[in-house]
Structure 1
Amino acid sequence: MTEKMLFGTYTKRVSKGIYQADFDEQTGEMSNVEAIAEIGSPTYLNVSDADVLYAVDKQDGQGGVAVYDYDSENAKTTLKQEVLADGASPAYVAVDENRQLLYTANYHKGTVEVYAIAADGKLTQTDAFQAVGSGPRPEQDGPHMHFANLTPDNRLVAVDLGSDKVYTFDVSEAGKLTEVAVFETEAGFGPRHIRFSQDGQKAYLLGELSSQLSELNYDATSGTFELAQTLSTKPDDWEAHNGAAAIYVSADNRFIYTSNRGHNSIAVFEVKANGAIDRRVQLISTEGDFPRDFALSPNERYLIATNQNTDNATVYQRDIVTGQLTLQEKDIQVPEPVRVVFVK
């Protein structure tokens, strides 16, 4: 079966904006990579169930979100709205289908913003949260929100790399935020992204600045987190720069995957039946430089990683029993790739 993929990119050198590709889940072959929207540095994007594409938008000193009608079968987009403000663009975009809300996390401004989604897909801002604080590392000169998405119990969790904090919010139907808990990591951890176990009792927090993965216990009653353990995403003898970037959990909750920018690899972790991380079982090269996002194919028999600085995507076969990856194809040309996502 052929699936559709989208790539969000930087547009600093050669990229035009958003790209689409075909992916054959039987063979693992990617083909027909083509630009479908010209837009400034759409580094993160998501598609709603109503086939509306929401993408980070940057132009002329302003940043925000672009809203497109999206026809995946014909590889076409139609711009319907741009929500822009002075300053930097967001780093993360997430859709809340139940409440018809959209969340953004803005790294440079240190904010989480909430938008109501109208019937036609257009956005109206309903609330914003301004984080405060800093950390011990040079990159932690102030709040740097890097992630905002739903918890399994339908709260909002937001991750602040700048102040080493993870915020939990209640969200009203009208799109208003109420802070309910704050978890603080070890100083300098630099949290970037967080994912949850299928039963919602565990969370897996990725530290960009520390190149570490923390296992957290999540209490849905209070919205609080508690540290269980922390593991490294890179080799112990790696002394050059590295920054962990993306994290995903397999559907059977048996494996966690993270990317390393610098070491340029995918780290694979095995997970016990109770959701606890057992150990790191593999480090495999991304066959390029500076991998940010990656994705598991819908059948999870393949993993696709992207390398921003070398303009390429890499396809791996995934063993669903061991969780480990085997290189299938490299050097698939995708300009300045950052975000990769399969279309539902």
Structure 2
Amino acid sequence: MMKITLIILAVVISGSCIAQNTESAVYIGTYTKKEGHVNGKAKGIFLASQDPENGGVQPEKTVAEITNPSFVKVSKDGENLYAVSELGGGDAKSGFIYSYKRNSDNSLDELGKLSTESFAPCHIEIDKSRKYVFVSNYMGGVVMVYKRGEDGNLQKQQKVQLENPNTSHAHSVSITSDNQTAYISDLGNDKIWIFDFNAEIGNLSLKENPFLQLEKGAGPRHFSFSKNEKFAFSMNELNSTISVLEIDKNGNLEIIQNISTLPEDFKGKNSGADIHLHPSGKFIYASNRGHNSIAAFKVDEKEGKLNAIAHYTTKGETPRNFAISPDGKFLYAANQDTSTISSFKVNQDTGELEEHLLPVEVMSPVCVEFAEN
């Protein structure tokens, strides 16, 4: 009996070790052709794998050949992947969003594509019910809402037109955990629009106080909530700042801090890009294109304000989006113009980053997305 018990225990331990070393799928959005801001060299959506133990990333292969899949998003249930095709007026009648089924080997089967009804789609969000998908178009101030079918394919639900379409640049949609409020970052109008979201019918409607006006020339781009959602953080592209925002019970926003993402002695050109809260809620990170760095900050969880920790070179040019591994142990930055993914180990106590392994080659990477399962 003792011998059988020991054998069973050994099998359990062995199986546990195998589970702990299971690699994670990482999908990488890319640019595939020359544009005004990039010389895209990729072929489409790229697949890599991550070892959760040592943080190593292994590039694998292109899993979908489409034009400029600059932003990709995996559904929380892991069943689907959505990708924009960032096209301009000279490429097609509009940009597109593609829907894919994820297979057990992490390959993708295309389910369909739909027009985004404007140009340069640049961001995808999925609501908390997993029933609706939102796409922000950089050109024209258009945000699209799509209904997600049982197989993951999409159909048009609503078209939202922001004011001043000639200058508006809708860059992202962010939805509260209660699924009732949506914030749209409008880079061109220096506004964060505030919408009620009705998940029963998939409809956005402007709140009574419809927007927060940021400083002229700020250029709000991406938006991240604090862990308790009492605060939010706007990554401002044009003036390389983070605006810390307090959220009241009605969803209204108030600026309580503006802090630079750059060192005080930096004099070159820069544009802010991405922002992500660490899973612990204690730290937040932002990417700088020009300074080519990740800026790290400590979050005062009671007051919301940020204190700079340090800046870390990405060992490459134009770090666009980046991702923190779901376990919070590693950070990966996509160096768009040097075609590399850089990795960092995150100090869980201090938020500091440590250079970790050598950058790996991936052509024209833009967006790094971990699959949920």
TM-score scaled by length of structure 1: 0.94
Write 1 or 2 for the structure with the bigger share of strand.
1
- Are positions 1:4 and 2:4 aligned together? no
Contact 1:311 1:337 in 2 (8 A): yes
Q: In 2, distance between residues paired with 1:224 and 1:158?
A: 13
Could you say which residue in structure 2 is the equivalent of 1:70?
A: 102
Q: 1:124 maps to what in 2?
A: 155
- Alignment of 1:171 with 2:203, yes or no, is no
Corresponding residue pairs, total: 336
* 2:145 counterpart of 1:114: yes
When residues 85 and 210 of structure 1 are mapped into structure 2, their CA distance, relative to the original with a 3 A threshold, is closer
Larger Rg: 2
The RMSD of aligned alpha carbons is 1.6
Gaps of 5+ in 1: 135-140
Whole-Å Cα distance in 1 between the matches of residues 155 and 120 of structure 2? 17
In 2, Cα distance between the equivalents of 1:266 and 1:99? Answer: 31
Indicate if the aligned counterparts of 1:39 and 1:58 stay in contact, CA closer than 8 A: no
1:163 maps to a residue whose letter is N
Tell me how far apart the structure 1 counterparts of residues 303 and 109 of structure 2 sit (CA, whole Å).
Answer: 42
Q: Deviations over 1:16-70 (max 9, x none)?
A: 1101111111111111431111011000111111511110025641311001111
Separation of aligned partners in 2, 1:28 and 1:85: 36
Q: Give, in whole Å, the separation in 2 of the partners of 1:115 and 1:273.
A: 34
How far apart, in 1, do the equivalents of 2:306 and 2:119 lie? 39
Residues 282-314 of structure 1, C-alpha deviation per residue, up to 9 Å, x if partnerless?
101010000011111121111111100000000
Change (3 A) 1:201 1:36: same
1:212-227 equivalences in 2 (<5 Å): 212-219=241-248, 221-227=249-255
Change in Cα spacing, 1:216 to 1:231, as seen in structure 2 (3 Å) is same
Alignment-derived partner of residue 152 in structure 1:
177
Deviation per residue, 1:111-142 (Å, 9 max, x gap): 111011111212111112111249xxxxxx70
How far has the Cα of 1:279 moved from its partner? 1.2
The separation in 1 between residues aligned to 2:309 and 2:53, in whole angstroms, is 26
Q: Give the Cα–Cα distance (whole angstroms) in 2 for the partners of residues 99 and 305 of structure 1.
A: 27
Task: Give the 3 Å change call, closer, same or farther, for CA 147–85 of structure 1 in structure 2.
Answer: closer
Q: C-alpha separation between the residues in 2 aligned to 1:158 and 1:98?
A: 19
* Post-superposition offset of 1:92: 0.4
Q: Which one of the candidate residues 326, 329, 332 is aligned to 1:298?
A: 326
Select 1:79's aligned residue among 84, 98, 110: 110
Partner of 1:137: none
SS at match of 1:303: strand
CA distance in 2, matches of 1:79, 1:268: 38
Q: Which residue of 1 aligns with 2:52?
A: 25
Q: Whole-Å Cα distance in 1 between the matches of residues 262 and 42 of structure 2?
A: 30
Aligned counterpart, 2:72: 45
Alignment partner of 1:284: what SS? strand
Whole-Å separation in 1 of the counterparts to 2:259 and 2:266:
14
Contact 1:153–1:200 (CA<8 Å) still a contact in 2?
A: no
Native 8 Å contact 2:78 2:102 kept in 1 = no
- Taking a change above 3 Å as real, the CA distance of residues 325 and 85 of structure 1, as seen in their structure-2 partners, is closer
Task: List aligned pairs for 1:228-307, cutoff 5 A.
Answer: 228-307=256-335
CA distance in 1 between counterparts of 2:53 and 2:359 reads: 20
Residue 231 (structure 2) aligns with: 202
What secondary structure is seen at the aligned counterpart in 2 of 1:55?
strand
For structure 2, the 5+ residue unaligned runs are 1-20, 34-39
Whether contact under 8 Å (1:33, 1:334) holds in the other structure is no
Contact 2:116 2:137 (8 Å CA) reproduced: no
Alpha-carbon shift at residue 329 of structure 1 (Å): 2.2
**1:187 CA drift (Å):** 1.1
Deviation (angstroms), 1:106: 0.6
- Runs of 4+ aligned structure 1 residues displaced above 3 Å come to none
Q: Closer, same or farther in 2 for the Cα pair 1:182/1:233, shift >3 Å?
A: same
Q: Which amino acid in structure 2 is aligned with residue 207 of structure 1?
A: N
- Aligned-pair CA distance for 1:75: 3.0
